[in-house]
Amino acid sequence: MIIVMKPNAAPQSIQAVVSYIEGNGLSVHLSRGEEVTIIGIVGDKSRLSAENLTVYKDVDRIMPVTESYKLANKKFHPEPTSVKVGCTVIGPDNLTVMAGPCAVETEDQLMTIARAVKESGATILRGGAYKPRTSPYSFQGLEEEGLRYMQEAARETGLATICEVVSTEAIEAAVKYVDMIQIGARNMQNFILLKEAGRSGLPVLLKRGLCATVEEWLNAAEYIMSEGNESVVLCERGIRTFETATRNTLDISAVPVMKERTHLPIIVDPSHSTGSYKYVPSMAKAAVACGADGLMIEVHNDPAHAMSDGPQSLTFAKFDKLTRELQPFCDIVGRAFRR
């Protein structure tokens, strides 16, 4: 922490800040510039709430100089992490494609989709059984029944499976049926859920909140990891901005930013970020080109009749065309992907 004093701060004001810091068992390092005096704090900063110093006289600003996340921080763990999900691995050597319907609707539907996405190269089947919907009057998911269908589809196809969880009960059910759980954007700062996901033992896909900064997102990962679970994968799925031409704005630069800050894998969801099937293929290619470890794509056998997110779902034919087109990009960036 650095405390920047106002120009011409009174000596007693500076002394008051120093006393506060020293009174908390820390020491200070004073730097008197021509314009301002800067006070650096030396020692274990967790022992004081330095932000409180803004209420002291003549204090201009408090500036943090270290990140609050440790386990997720690349500075202390420089090698990239690989996360095992069923028989597949998410990490620097592969391009992992997760695909499936937004919501699990029926057993037949899911099985049909599972077979199709597998044939086109997906290794993880996605499907929502607990749907967080903006309106209470929208379809909320099949819940445990949906999870059973996921397990069935996994048995039949050999795909690994992932399902979003929204509560303790959902996590308890998911542990029985699927290989990976997902924390959705709206729950990214549901810290209770993050801790429970951490304790579940399953690998966790952590979607970025709609207005979460990179810093907050990594702190959310830290919540999961601080419970002893290091199998965390990040998923960029668009942030909320003023632009309405797309459902959200895909923050594609989050991929290289995360590659610099954390050792955790990061994948991209071009479906939710754009909200339209028309933009999914180009955004998927952009993601692979810039270094993403994987993709999460919504695929539906009949988008016009999907119970959720039809407009952003690819048909089987469009998904197959996309993965065929992705192959050469994977070759260039040196990631294994086999259709």
- Binding flag, residue 299, a second copy (CB under 8 A): no
Backbone phi, psi, residue 224, to 5°: -65, -45
Nearest 10 degrees: Cα torsion 98, 286, 207, 84: 40
Stretch of 107-115, 146-154, 173-181, 234-242 contacting a second copy, by CB under 8 A = 234-242
- Binding flag, residue 282, a second copy (CB under 8 A): yes
- Binding flag, residue 287, a second copy (CB under 8 A): yes
Decide: 37 and 23 in contact? Cβ < 8 Å.
no
Which is closer to a second copy, CB of 158 or CB of 338? Answer: 338
- Binding flag, residue 189, a second copy (CB under 8 A): yes
- Binding flag, residue 6, a second copy (CB under 8 A): yes
Decide: 212 and 188 in contact? Cβ < 8 Å.
yes
Please name the residue that has the structure tokens 């954390």: 262
Alpha-carbon torsion (172, 177, 183, 184), positive or negative: negative
β-pairing, 59-63 with 2-5?
antiparallel
Rounded-to-integer distance, Cα 127 and Cα 118, Å = 14
- Binding flag, residue 91, a second copy (CB under 8 A): no
Which is closer to a second copy, CB of 155 or CB of 260? Answer: 260
Using CB under 8 A as the criterion, what x/- string covers residues 120-139 for binding a second copy? ------------xxxxxx--
Which is closer to a second copy, CB of 152 or CB of 227? Answer: 227
Write the DSSP assignment of 327-339 as a string of letters: HHHHHHHT-B---
Rounded to the nearest 5 degrees, what angle is found at the Cα of 233, between the Cα atoms of 197 and 277? 110
Near a second copy by CB under 8 A: residue from 66, 172, 176, 228: 66
240: closest CA among 207, 273, 271, 262?
273
- Binding flag, residue 229, a second copy (CB under 8 A): no
Stretch of 54-62, 88-96, 120-128, 156-164 contacting a second copy, by CB under 8 A = 54-62
Stretch of 80-88, 113-121, 151-159, 236-244 contacting a second copy, by CB under 8 A = 236-244
Minimum distance, C-beta of residue 225 to a second copy, in the bound complex (Å) = 9
- Binding flag, residue 339, a second copy (CB under 8 A): no
Near a second copy by CB under 8 A: residue from 20, 84, 112, 152: 20
**Residue 25 DSSP label:** T
Near a second copy by CB under 8 A: residue from 10, 19, 25, 75: 75
Minimum distance, C-beta of residue 118 to a second copy, in the bound complex (Å) = 23
Tell me the two tokens of residue 186: 């709206």
- Binding flag, residue 19, a second copy (CB under 8 A): no
183 exposure class (CB count in 10 Å sphere: 0-12, 13-18, 19+): buried
Q: Is 156 left (phi over 0), alpha (psi -120 to 50) or beta?
A: alpha
Count of residues interacting with a second copy (CB under 8 A): 105
Q: Is 17 left (phi over 0), alpha (psi -120 to 50) or beta?
A: alpha
Minimum distance, C-beta of residue 245 to a second copy, in the bound complex (Å) = 4
Backbone phi, psi, residue 30, to 5°: -90, 140
Stretch of 33-41, 88-96, 113-121, 146-154 contacting a second copy, by CB under 8 A = 33-41
Minimum distance, C-beta of residue 123 to a second copy, in the bound complex (Å) = 22
- Binding flag, residue 279, a second copy (CB under 8 A): yes
User: Per CB under 8 A, which of residues 136..165 are in contact with a second copy?
Assistant: 136-137
- Binding flag, residue 80, a second copy (CB under 8 A): no
Decide: 334 and 289 in contact? Cβ < 8 Å.
no
Minimum distance, C-beta of residue 298 to a second copy, in the bound complex (Å) = 12
Rounded-to-integer distance, Cα 107 and Cα 53, Å = 59
Minimum distance, C-beta of residue 136 to a second copy, in the bound complex (Å) = 5
